[in-house]
Amino acid sequence: MSVPDDHLAKARETIEFARYALAGGYSDEAGRSAYMAAYHAAMAFIAACTGTSPKTHSGARSEFGRLAREEPRITRQQVSLLGWTYELKNVSDYGQPRTVAAEDAERAIDEAAKLIETITCIVTPSDLPA
């Protein structure tokens, strides 16, 4: 398996956990996991485009935004996903007494799932003849 494939597998696993956490009423963990799923999808795209991986979350957000500008299948909404869901992760990790609202976690999960689908289509070679 390639590095992009590894990141996509982790993104899929993490988005499923986010759904499970939300269904169980754990919106903090659901929001955090939705961010991590989006992060791994972005890392798959970065690795497929550059062959490298940023060392920090901030670096990943910056590099994803830069590279995504050249890819018309990635929407502006998908580029901004890493920024606002990172805030959900921060609330989950450090936000006592704040919590992630279930509605925010649900939106993050939905948008992260769409990003995973988009990145999968971009980085997975088609079996169709040219």
Phi-psi region of 51 (alpha: psi -120 to 50; beta: other; left: phi over 0): left
- Give the confidence band of 77 by pLDDT, cuts at 50, 70, 90: very high
Residue pLDDT, tens place only, 90-117: 998 887 677 899 999 999 999 999 999 9
- The position carrying tokens 């980085």 is 123
Dmax (CA) for the chain in angstroms is 56
Average pLDDT over residues 2-7: 93
- Give the confidence band of 127 by pLDDT, cuts at 50, 70, 90: low
Average pLDDT over residues 44-55: 95
- Give the confidence band of 39 by pLDDT, cuts at 50, 70, 90: very high
Q: pTM of the predicted model, to two decimals? A: 0.92
Q: What percent of the chain has pLDDT over 90?
A: 86
Helix, strand, coil % (nearest 5) of the chain?
75, 0, 25
Residue 128 has pLDDT above 60, yes or no: no
Residue 126: what pLDDT?
A: 65
Look up the CATH number of domain 3-123.
1.20.120.330
